Amino acid sequence: MIGELYVGTGPARPGHIAGARNLYTLRLWSIWRFLKKQSASYWLICSYLFFEYVRPQSIYESVDLLPWAFLSIVLCLVAFLVERRSWRFTTAVDWLLAVFCLVVLAASSLAYFPAASFAALPLFFSWILIYVLISGLVITERRFLVFILSFLLYNLKMALHATRTWAAIGFAFRDWGVVGAPGWFHNSGEFGIEMTMFLPISVCFIVALRRYWSKRKLALLILLPTTSVIGMLASSSRGALLGGAAVLFWFLMRSRHRVRTLIGTAAVVVAAVVLLPNQQKERLTSMGTDPTSVIRLTYWKDGIKIANENPVLGIGYANWADYYRRYYNPRGQLPHNIFVQAGAELGYTGLLVFGLLIAYTFVVNSRTRKIARQLPEGGFLFGMANGLDGALVGYLVSGFFVTVLYYPFFWINLAMTVALHKAARHEFRQVPATCPRERMGVRQPRGQWV
């Protein structure tokens, strides 16, 4: 349905492929049996994802005893080192991220308010550490499958909560919308962005693996994209709705089955129009002229002016609030745009590197799809590369209206992109020597595109 899915049907299936096929069915026993064999570092990186996206420590006071997400990452790093694992620069993204780190450090050193920069550096470098750990541990197809499944389930929990909350008020409009888990998603705008990223990943996950499931399991997993759309609508975030629209358009452009996808897209749009409260429709039609839009346009214009006045390294990492309130408006807020944020704080140097990181995310996913086409069972890897592309599209469009450059959205997606690529390369290396043409990059005529 969405994009292309290569399904190999050849008889040669090495043991690692058979193991992956057992996980494709999503049977709990198979997943548990797989997890029991994994290292402590993998368990800990999965634990981090749980504490970051579900946040039970923020919901239940009885477990709010320790900084669980931080502790999971620290212990994961310790386990990573104790297990003598290594991490190497293997993709252009790795090198670009290193350059981005240098830009952030240089901008912090030369900032207008260095204290603000250095106080915020631990946040930035925590994302770098998380990137290294995810891209260094989730490097096989089976590991990636379980990791992305947990990511989807945690998002489903947030989406179900949003659906239940919205239904409790009769699907009425609330200007503050519904929210997700405490922390990064405890704001309707940020929660809406997460739903725009949840949608394409969940759809591509289902398309890639649906042939391995019973009709009952498929019907249950349809809840993933369904609740993501409801979550977007319930968030009352116009940016999230635009991001969701961009994802639907991306689906349409990527699909080889345009008519089928067009029908599905039209059904989603019609359902959204029916569910969307009239007040939210009015907010959409007034975009660009209402007070909120006017204020944001002012921030954007000022941000561009700031970048032009400080073109090389900007005003300094995490300096927008202090700088803007001193030189522009003492009651000013954040720039409400990830590109304006990058350009103003890191200069055009930082904005350029950030743009290259975005571009190479798409490049790496394209290379992952190229490898997946050459595998006997590459459909899952292919589909997830599509899903991560779609998630980035949703983030970029939604991020045009909020200040979320240093939120988990981009960095987790980037880490999963590189991890998926490493998993694809790992699976390719496992292809036996009996398939020499595949190793030469020639796809065998023993599968079909669906």
What is the rounded distance in angstroms from the CA atom of residue 235 to the CA atom of residue 232? 5
What is the rounded distance in angstroms from the CA atom of residue 143 to the CA atom of residue 38? 9
Mutual orientation of helices 278-285 and 238-254 as an angle, nearest 10°? Answer: 80
What is the rounded distance in angstroms from the CA atom of residue 436 to the CA atom of residue 450? 25
Q: Are 335 and 299 in contact (CB under 8 A)?
A: yes
Q: The tokens of 368 are what? A: 């992952």
Q: What pLDDT sits at residue 194?
A: 96
Exposure string of 169-203, with b = 16+ CB inside 10 Å and e = fewer, is eeeebbeebbbbbebbbebbbbbbbbbbbbbbbbb
DSSP string of 121-165, one letter each residue: HHHHHHHHHHHHHHHHH--SHHHHHHHHHHHHHHHHHHHHHHHHH
User: How much of the chain is helix, strand and coil, in % rounded to 5?
Assistant: 70, 0, 30
**How do strand 447-449 and strand 6-8 relate by DSSP bridges?**
antiparallel
Q: What is the pLDDT along the chain (450 residues), one digit of tens a residue?
A: 444 444 443 444 555 555 677 899 999 999 999 999 999 999 999 999 999 999 888 888 888 888 999 999 999 999 999 999 988 899 999 999 999 999 999 999 999 999 999 999 999 999 999 999 999 999 999 999 999 999 999 999 999 999 998 888 877 777 667 877 788 898 888 999 999 999 999 999 999 999 999 999 999 999 999 999 999 998 888 889 999 999 999 999 888 887 888 888 888 888 888 888 777 777 777 777 788 888 999 999 999 999 999 999 999 999 999 999 999 999 889 999 999 999 999 999 999 999 999 999 999 999 999 999 999 889 999 999 999 999 999 999 999 999 999 999 999 999 999 999 999 999 998 877 555 444 444 343 333 333
**Cα angle vertex 164, ends 161, 169, to 5°?**
130
348: part of which helix (H) or strand (E)?
Answer: helix 338-372
What is the rounded distance in angstroms from the CA atom of residue 439 to the CA atom of residue 12? 14
What is the rounded distance in angstroms from the CA atom of residue 371 to the CA atom of residue 422? 10
Identity at 123, one-letter amino acid code: L
Instruction: Give the SS3 label for residue 8.
Output: strand
Number of Cβ atoms within 10 Å of the Cβ of 50 = 17
Query: By CB neighbour count within 10 A (0-12 exposed, 13-18 middle, 19+ buried), where does 36 fall?
Result: exposed
What is the rounded distance in angstroms from the CA atom of residue 110 to the CA atom of residue 315? 8
Map out the domains of the chain as residue ranges.
6-449
Q: What pLDDT sits at residue 18?
A: 57
| Residue with the two structure tokens 């459909």 | 379
Number of Cβ atoms within 10 Å of the Cβ of 305 = 12
Number of Cβ atoms within 10 Å of the Cβ of 269 = 14
